[in-house]
């Protein structure tokens, strides 16, 4: 079976003050359809740059190195013109960001932001797009989706805003969702809700997820496989069971040892 996504020899450098800093250093990995894979690492490890490179939305001062390839559904995204990428983004690959308050448009009601995805991708009937959006908002657990359609992001809690982000990302049932720290800004009880919802939607649509996180607890809770990144390189790639029970790399062991854990007295 050919993988859904295969990243080959990806290198990303950022130019700053005439110097080039390497954020991602020739990494390779693949994701199968419907699979949930964690990309774990601490800040500055290159995990977000990897996600942005797959989406094709790296900032202007970033450069993807020669010899890099990102194959998705049979095409090399790096060789795909922007025009076609725009059709893929939101429809076949979508992204959920860490901070929904920053990712959502503050002057557009949340319902229109969900409906926009359908309209951009070929839906001509505004009313149909609206109906679809309301349905999806209900599906992600926004209470009174019909009325909340008109709500602005600032009128919603952080958890509700992240539900709206999930509605936008999953509206068109993409094959791949890149979730970049989707619960890191949320309270612990809300994190549990949003993770459960993400898994639910993922199962339903058979979406593959690249879950970018620094939290090994989130990995233990949701993923089948994990890639550990450090200083731009993947230092370990393993099933989560092996990762937690037989970590091969010293850095993975360090991460595991540093994990805050609740010790339940016997």
Sequence-distant (6+) residues with CB within 8 A of 70 are 5, 6, 7, 8, 10, 53, 54, 76, 77, 78
Three-state SS annotation for 165-223? HHHHHHCCCCCEEEEECCCCCCCHHHHHHHHHHHHHHHHHHCCEEEEEECCHHHHHHHC
Q: How far is the CB of 129 from another protein (least distance, A)?
A: 28
Q: Do strands 19-31 and 75-76 pair parallel, antiparallel, or not at all (unpaired)?
A: unpaired
Interface with another protein: number of residues (CB under 8 A): 39
| Residues 204, 121 contacting (CB under 8 angstroms) | no
Q: What pairs with residue 30 in β-bridges?
A: 6
Positions in 19-78 near another protein (CB under 8 A): 42-43
Shortest Å, Cβ 200 to another protein: 11
* Residue whose CB is less far from another protein, 1 or 188: 188
Give the bridge partners for 226, in sequence order.
38, 238
Contacts (CB under 8 A) with another protein, residues 180-209: 187-193, 195-196
Minimum CB separation from another protein for residue 187, in Å?
Answer: 4
* Residue 218 in the binding site for another protein (CB under 8 A): yes
DSSP per residue, 81-96:
-HHHHHHHBTTTEEEE
Looking at the Cβ atoms of 113 and 162, the one nearer to another protein is: 162
| Subset of residues 152 to 171 that bind another protein, contact rule: CB under 8 A | 157-160
8 binds another protein (CB under 8 A): no
Using rule CB under 8 A, residue 214 touches another protein: yes
Among 136, 140, 172, 240, binds another protein (CB under 8 A): 240
- Least separation in angstroms between CB 42 and another protein: 4
């Amino acid at each position: 079976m050919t993988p859904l996504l295969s990243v080959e020899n990806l290198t990303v450098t950022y130019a700053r003050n005439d110097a080039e800093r390497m954020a991602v250093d020739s990494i390779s990995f693949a994701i199968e359809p419907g699979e949930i894979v964690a990309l774990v690492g601490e800040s500055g490890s290159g995990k977000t740059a990897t996600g942005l490179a797959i989406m094709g939305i790296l900032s202007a001062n970033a450069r993807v190195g020669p010899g890099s390839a990102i194959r998705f559904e049979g095409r090399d995204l790096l060789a795909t013109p922007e025009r076609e990428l725009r059709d893929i983004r939101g429809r076949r690959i979508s992204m959920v960001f860490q901070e929904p308050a920053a990712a959502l448009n503050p002057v557009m009601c949340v319902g229109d932001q969900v409906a926009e995805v359908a309209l951009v991708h070929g839906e001509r009937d505004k009313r149909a797009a609206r109906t679809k959006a309301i349905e999806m908002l209900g599906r992600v657990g926004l209470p009174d989706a019909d009325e909340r359609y008109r709500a602005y992001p600032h009128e919603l809690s952080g958890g509700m805003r992240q539900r709206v982000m999930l509605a936008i990302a999953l509206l068109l049932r993409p094959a791949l969702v890149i979730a970049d720290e989707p619960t890191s800004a949320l309270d612990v009880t809300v994190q549990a809700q949003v993770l459960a919802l993400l898994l639910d939607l993922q199962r339903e649509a058979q979406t593959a997820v690249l879950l970018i996180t620094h939290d090994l607890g989130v990995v233990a809770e949701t993923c089948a496989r994990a890639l550990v990144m450090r200083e731009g390189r993947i230092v370990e790639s393993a099933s989560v069971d092996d990762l937690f029970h037989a970590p091969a790399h010293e850095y993975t062991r360090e991460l595991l040892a540093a994990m805050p854990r609740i010790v339940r007295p016997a």
